[in-house]
Structure 1
Amino acid sequence: MFEVRVRVASKVGLHARPAALIARLAAEQPVTVTIRKEGGEPVPAASLLNLMTLGAMHGDEVILAAEGDAAQSSVDKVAELIESDEDSA
C-alpha cells in the first residue's frame, strides 16, 4: 500500500471541473487510486460523484492511496494534479 497526503490547491476545491480532471486521470491509471479526508472512508478517485461528495475545499488535506506494482507512480500523478492550481482556471 502506498499512501500520500496532499493539499487541494484548486481555488474552487474538488468541485465540478477539477474533480472531472482528477477522475479522468485516476481512471487512466493501471491500479485503483482511492481518496479520503482524514477520518473518512476511502472512495475511488476515478469517480466524479465520490470526489465531489468529499467536500474537499481549497487548502484541505486529502489522502491518496493505491496498492500494486504501479501504486506509487499512479498516486504521484493524481497527487500532482490535486496540488496544482491549473484545474481551476
Structure 2
Amino acid sequence: MIEKEITVTIKEGLHAKPAGVLVQNLSRYTSDVEFRFKNRSYNAKSILGLMGAGIREGQVMTVRVDGPDEEEAFAWLKTFI
C-alpha cells in the first residue's frame, strides 16, 4: 500500500473534465485508489465522488493506492495531479 500527501497542481482543480480524465485513466489499474480530503474519503475511480469533493488547485490531499499495480497507478496519478 502507498499512502502519501499530494498537492493538486491542476489549474481547474478536480472538477468535470480533469475528474473524467482521472477516472478514465485510473480504470486501467486494478488497484484501489482513494483520496482523503477534509476528513472524508473519496473513491478516485468515481467521477461523481471526485466532483463532489471540491478539490481545488493548491490544496493538499492524501492519496492511498492499494493493489497489485499500486506503484504504476501512483506514478501516473502523481504525474497527472
Any gaps of 5 or more consecutive residues in structure 2? none
The Cα shift of 1:21 comes to 0.7
Any gaps of 5 or more consecutive residues in structure 1? 83-89
Measured in 2, the distance between the counterparts of 1:80 and 1:56 equals 17
Measured in 2, the distance between the counterparts of 1:38 and 1:4 equals 15
Please say if residues 36 and 54 of structure 1, whose CA atoms lie closer than 8 Å, have aligned partners that are also in contact: no
Whose strand proportion is higher, 1 or 2?
2
Aligned residue in 1 for 2:4: 4
User: Once structures 1 and 2 are overlaid, which stretch shifts more, 20-29 or 64-73?
Assistant: 64-73
Measured in 1, the distance between the counterparts of 2:76 and 2:68 equals 14
What's the Cα RMSD here? 1.4
Measured in 2, the distance between the counterparts of 1:66 and 1:32 equals 6
Matched, 1:80 2:52: no
SS in 1 for 2:64: strand
Aligned residue in 1 for 2:20: 20
Moved over 6 A (4+): none
Sequence identity (%): 26
What is the TM-score with the length of structure 1 in the denominator? 0.80
Measured in 2, the distance between the counterparts of 1:68 and 1:11 equals 29
Aligned residue-pair number: 81
The Cα shift of 1:75 comes to 1.8
Measured in 1, the distance between the counterparts of 2:52 and 2:23 equals 13
Matched, 1:66 2:65: yes
